[in-house]
Amino acid sequence: MLAMAAAPLAALPASADTRSLAAGLETDEDFTGDIDTVISATRIRQPLTESPSSITIIDRDTIIASGAIEVADVLRLVPGIQVAYPQGNQLAVSYHGFGDAFPRSMQVLIDGRSIYQPSFADVDWLFLGIVLEDIERIEVIRGPNSPLYGSNAVSGVINIITRLPWQDRGTAARITAGDLGTRNGMLRHSGRHGALDYRVTLNYQQGDGLEGDSNSTNDGRRLSGVSFRGLWNPRPSDEFDIQLGHAAGDLGGGAEPQHDPPPHDKQVSSDYEFVSWRRALPDEAEFRWQLYHNGYNSDDDYRDLLSHAYNIPPAAIPLLIPGQADQLADFGLFDYRGQRYDLELQHTSPASSRLRTVAGAGIRLNRLKSEVLTNRDDWIDEWSERVFVNLAYHASDRLRLNFGAMGEHSDKFGAYLSPRIAANWLFDPQHSVRLSYARARRTPSLVESQFNNVHELDDGTPYLIDFIARDPEPETLTSVELGFTGYWLKRRLLLDAKLFYEKTDDRIRFVEDLALQQPFPAITPVIPIHVLVNDGYTKVAGAELQLKYQTGPRDFISYQVSKLDTDLIWSVQLNPDLVLRQPENVAPRYTASLLASKTLPHGFEVSAAWYHISNMVWLGDGDRIQGYKRTDARVARRWRSAGSDMMLEAIVQNTGNDYITFRNENLFETRAFLRLTIDFR
């Protein structure tokens, strides 16, 4: 018996537990080993009832139900936001009005990467580098949020959070076809290699632009892109997020009204490289480091004969520009390159159950190179540094205090501080009122600060001046808001309402300076020189409300409405006799939207959206447009075939009458699309 007992037992290999996992066997390490930490993509996570700002969350179900074809489409569901098409291949998104073709007062982030452009401070919604299918949700912080997100977050923050690679294992494809020559395709593969979860997405977009253009503007698109996201967890407490993307294509170059060029394209490309390292520290603290680069190239090298561009006989050119014959000249305004490099460190610590802090610092380099926009052939750089801190304090069971401040310094605009303080009173965890005060500054974009749009002939002779920057200073926004957030019916019903007042001082705008004379006035008698200056202030007072009722797991109805009263005081009138546009209704008095979605038996889904915007004026090249009502509808069916999940959608946008978008020539007609998504499991 002893001899039998002495039979040795082979020692198990050291990797037994790992193999057990693969073999589907439990071990005690399942209960004691570390697991990867889940970290929010947002700086600080709070319940809506305790947030210092109003937030609209557009989740994936909402995105799908909306029938959106473009990312910016879904933002119509945010109270107070206006979305328009300056051209068929350009989208403008503004909040509380005052928008032109390049709205530039909202910070837009993708997974923490700021994507508004250093050139115009706007966002090219076609070249985001991601596709709609990659988005998990969009959080729109309505109201100034510079204390957390920096100088461009004056009127709000659009925080786009993409899906994590492991949320979409396998391969998927989507094709969309429909009106306006729309032919879109997407192919995505997600997988895992060791501790790396990755996703690669290819996409292609093609469209003819707005069909209702009376001047047949060339505003189509043909672009393709590739993006990569990898999440690597070398240890459970460490996560590296690596994102790369490149997109390139041809966009119709539109038509400058005074030039009326024949159709020509501009070649646009964008790329980004992003890496972040997040470490979960003891006591729920977190350290994050991120570095990224955005690049954007717009090659608009259209050339035309002077005589054709100005519609005058060739023989007249030497008379109008002495010593010069009719000749080809550059007319592409959007010929520029922009770059951004950004490094940021952030530390998040709960500190205690009553006080949570987020603090960090960053450094940024914005670069612009554009001879046509700046009359310089070198790179123009702006260096800025920032430090920020935010404190969320549980003063009592019912009172929450939020204090935040960001200090920024720019080598072009000096130092400034953006503070915010908010107090939330909780009647109970589901209902609260909020009072907040914030000041925020928006620094001029590099184009705004360096604009020197002088048209020159090939020999360097300047013959026309369009725009000149006259040292604009940052705009300053002061905001006060009173908000209410409440849940009912077991949190299925959410109501968020706020009253607000905003005043923006030192508005940056173009004014015509008749004291300045064109180099050759004879050729351009009616083209004044615009100077970019700080001019007066604007006020917006209003109310916003959003209501969402979740009637089932994927069924809901949401309603959003805003009322805006605006007031403009222009203090500088360089040309009081020649005001091309009286800027009234620069924000629509009313915006409203409604979205309802219902799942039906046999995999069917139906949803309908309704949007309303009252009369408003788009600034810049925009026009005073009539208010409109628009209804979209979507019918979809999901089914399973040959091991794959299928979804076929029929989408109709604007089932009613055509409406004008951005300018009178741009008609938004009824559009219909078919979209097929195949998820190969």
Partner 1 sequence: MWLMCLLLLTGQVRAAGILLVASSGAELYDRFIASFTASLPAGEFGPDSTKPTIVHLDEHVLTRNDLAASELVISVGTRAARAVASLKPAIPVLYTVIPESVYRTLVTPGGTCATHSAIFIDQPLARQAALARSLFPAAVKYGVLLGPTSIQRQPEIDALEQMTGRELVVSVAGHEDEIIRTSSRLLYGIDLLLAVNDPLVLNRENAKWLLYAAYQRGLPVIGFSRAYVTAGAAGAVFSEPEQMARQAAEVVQRHAGAASNCLPAAGFPHYFSVAINQSVCSSLGGASCDEEALSALLTSGESEK
Give the interface with partner 1 as residue ranges (CB under 8 A).
1-2, 4-12, 14, 16-17, 20-21, 23-40, 45-47, 49-50, 59, 136-137, 164, 166-169, 236-237, 280, 284, 350, 352-353, 356, 394, 429-430, 490-491, 553-554, 681
Q: Token digits for 418?
A: 């953006």
Amino acid residing at 523: I
Please say whether the beta carbons of 451 and 468 come within 8 A.
Answer: yes
Residue with Cβ nearer partner 1 (169 or 308): 169
User: Three-class SS of residue 515?
Assistant: coil
CB of 35 to partner 1, least distance (A): 4
Per-residue tokens: 213: 């253009």
Under 8 Å between Cβ of 193 and 221 = no
CB contact at 8 A, 12 and 212: no
Q: How far is CA 330 from the centre of its chain?
A: 31
CB nearer to partner 1: give 1 or 526. 1
CB atoms within 10 A of CB 276: 21
141 vs 477 by CB, closer to partner 1 = 141
Min. distance of Cβ 200 from partner 1 in angstroms? 18
Q: Which is nearer to partner 1, 19 or 581 (CB)?
A: 19
Q: 127-141 in b/e burial notation, b at 16+ Cβ within 10 A? A: bbbbbbbbbebbbbb
Residue 406: CB minimum distance to partner 1, A: 22
As measured in angstroms, the least distance from the Cβ of 677 to partner 1 is 15
Q: Tell me how far, at minimum, the Cβ of 672 lies from partner 1, in Å.
A: 30
Closer CB to partner 1, residue 259 or residue 554? 554
Point out which residues pair with 494 in neighbouring strands: 487, 548
The 8 Å CB, 24+ separation contacts for 410-419 are 410/382, 410/383, 410/384, 410/443, 411/382, 411/383, 411/384, 412/382, 412/443, 412/449, 413/443, 413/444, 413/449, 413/473, 413/474, 416/151, 416/441, 416/474, 418/144, 418/146, 418/147, 418/151, 419/147
Question: What are 2's two structure tokens?
Answer: 């002893």
Which C-beta is closer to partner 1: that of 401 or that of 633? 401
Residue 397 Cβ, how far from partner 1 at the closest point, in Å? 10
> Tokens 């949803």 map to which residue?
607
Q: Which is nearer to partner 1, 236 or 318 (CB)?
A: 236
> Residue 301 CB, nearest distance to partner 1 (Å)?
45
* Residue 57 CB coordination number (10 Å): 17
Q: Which is nearer to partner 1, 3 or 580 (CB)?
A: 3
Between CA 120 and CA 115 the distance in angstroms is 12
- Helix count and strand count (H, E) for the chain: 9, 39
CB of 532: closest distance to partner 1 in angstroms? 43
Q: Round to whole Å and give the CA distance between 161 and 7.
A: 59
How big is the chain by its Cα radius of gyration, in Å? Answer: 27
Minimum CB distance to partner 1 smaller for 45 or for 470: 45
Measured distance CA(86)–CA(93) in Å, rounded: 10
Distances (CA, A) of 330 to 302, 327, 486: 6, 10, 57
For the chain, how many residues are written?
A: 681
* Shortest spacing between CB 170 and partner 1, in angstroms: 8
Minimum distance from residue 414 beta carbon to partner 1 (Å): 36
For residue 64, the minimal CB distance to partner 1 (Å) is 13
Residue reference for tokens 């690679």: 165
Q: State which residue, 5 or 580, has the beta carbon closest to partner 1.
A: 5
Residue type, 51: S
Q: How far is the CB of 361 from partner 1 (least distance, A)?
A: 22
For 152, half-sphere exposure in the C-beta direction (CA atoms, 13 angstrom radius) is 24
Q: Measuring CA to CA, which residue among 608, 615, 609 is closest to residue 587?
A: 615
Supply the minimum distance, in Å, between the C-beta of residue 641 and partner 1.
16
CB 93 within 8 A of CB 115: no
Nearer to partner 1, 101 or 148 (CB): 148
